[in-house]
């Protein structure tokens, strides 16, 4: 518990400072390293880890993030299509009836989408006029949801939310986390001056909180299927990068859809 609190107290302000005060270039450089860590943990869910699979995944992840950074997002569909072709081609060359290559190819490609594409979306959001403020709001909602779920679950949790996936999660924690997430989102929207429509603020806070909790459950499902407790051991008290960023990876696309959807409708 002490390690968990100490790690959060150190990493949370650093992460918020990077997303809010850091430039797009700072984020791009950081994401190049983050892609390596995330995909390395993802590949460990399906041993044996083949170096060529990991190299291809990381290379494609770097290209996706860099495409957004240099202002060429139209390259991204081509890279994704080419990446799928490369994965399938490698699977074809290694095919044996026992290898389940179609299943493994899907695993590798989903890992690329799961780990790298949310980072591309963060760069897109960061480039918006109020991008840093939106990202700050996103982080606060996720953290508020996590803290609210933890304490309400500890105090009032009895009925399990998903016992086969995560035995520690309860319905009380789910409701408490969602409520705190919405309240934090309401406060953050006013603090960062990013939204004036109360209905939009409540709805967005609700969706981001729910998406973050779903991301946590999805990663729990993957770990349960892989037979591991944590995705890694990089962060004391929290496990690996995926353990710490699972909510962000799911909530970021929701925020992106909201922001670019509002811009599209506004135009």
The pLDDT tens digits for 193-229 are 887 788 889 999 999 999 999 999 999 999 998 888 8
- How many C-beta atoms lie closer than 10 Å to residue 13's C-beta? 10
Question: What pLDDT is recorded for position 10?
Answer: 64
Q: How far apart are CA 5 and CA 89, in angstroms?
A: 45
Q: Omega before 48 cis (within 30°)?
A: yes
Percent of the chain with pLDDT over 70: 92
The pLDDT tens digits for 32-46 are 999 999 999 999 998
Provide CB contacts within 8 A for 243, sequence distance 6+. Answer: 219, 230, 231, 232, 235
Question: What pLDDT is recorded for position 5?
Answer: 57
The pLDDT tens digits for 236-265 are 666 789 998 999 999 999 999 999 887 655
DSSP string, 129-159: TTHHHHHHHHHHHHHHHHHHHHHHHHHH--S
Average pLDDT over residues 180-186: 96
Burial of 201 (C-beta count, 10 Å sphere; 0-12/13-18/19+): buried
Asked if residues 136 and 188 have their Cβ atoms less than 8 Å apart, the reply is yes
The pLDDT tens digits for 63-116 are 999 999 999 999 999 999 999 898 888 888 877 776 677 788 888 999 999 999
Polymer length in residues for the chain? 267
Better-scored residue on pLDDT, 61 or 199: 61
Question: What pLDDT is recorded for position 264?
Answer: 56
CA atoms within 13 A of residue 104's CA, in its CB half-sphere = 25
- How many C-beta atoms lie closer than 10 Å to residue 238's C-beta? 19
Segment holding 162, helix H or strand E: strand 160-162
Q: pTM for the whole thing?
A: 0.91
Average pLDDT over residues 130-148: 94
Q: How confident is the model at residue 157 (pLDDT cuts 50, 70, 90)?
A: confident
β-bridge mates for residue 162, sequence order? 166
Question: What pLDDT is recorded for position 236?
Answer: 67
Percent of the chain with pLDDT over 90: 58
């Amino acid at each position: 518990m002490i390690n968990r609190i100490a790690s959060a107290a150190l990493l949370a302000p650093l992460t918020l400072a990077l997303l809010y005060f850091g430039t797009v270039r700072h984020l791009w450089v950081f994401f190049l390293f983050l892609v390596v860590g995330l995909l390395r943990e993802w590949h460990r869910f399906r041993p044996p880890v083949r170096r060529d699979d990991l190299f291809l995944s990381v290379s494609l992840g770097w290209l996706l993030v860099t495409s957004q950074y240099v202002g060429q997002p139209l390259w991204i569909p081509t890279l994704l299509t080419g990446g799928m072709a490369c994965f399938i081609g490698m699977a074809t060359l290694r095919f044996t009836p026992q290898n389940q290559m179609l299943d493994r190819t899907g695993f590798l490609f989903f890992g690329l989408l799961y780990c790298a594409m949310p980072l591309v979306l963060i760069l897109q959001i960061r480039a918006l006029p109020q991008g840093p403020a939106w990202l700050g709001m996103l982080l606060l909602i996720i953290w508020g949801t996590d803290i609210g779920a933890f304490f309400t679950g500890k105090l009032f949790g009895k009925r399990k939310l998903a016992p086969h996936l995560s035995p520690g999660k309860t319905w009380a924690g789910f409701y408490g986390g969602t409520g705190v997430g919405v309240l934090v989102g309401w406060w953050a929207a006013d603090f960062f001056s990013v939204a004036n429509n109360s209905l939009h603020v409540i709805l967005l806070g609700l969706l981001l909180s729910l998406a973050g909790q779903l991301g946590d459950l999805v990663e729990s499902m993957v770990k349960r299927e892989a037979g591991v407790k944590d995705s890694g051991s990089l962060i004391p008290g929290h496990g690996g990068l995926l353990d710490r960023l699972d909510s962000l990876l799911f909530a970021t696309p929701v925020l992106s859809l909201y922001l670019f959807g509002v811009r599209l409708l506004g135009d």
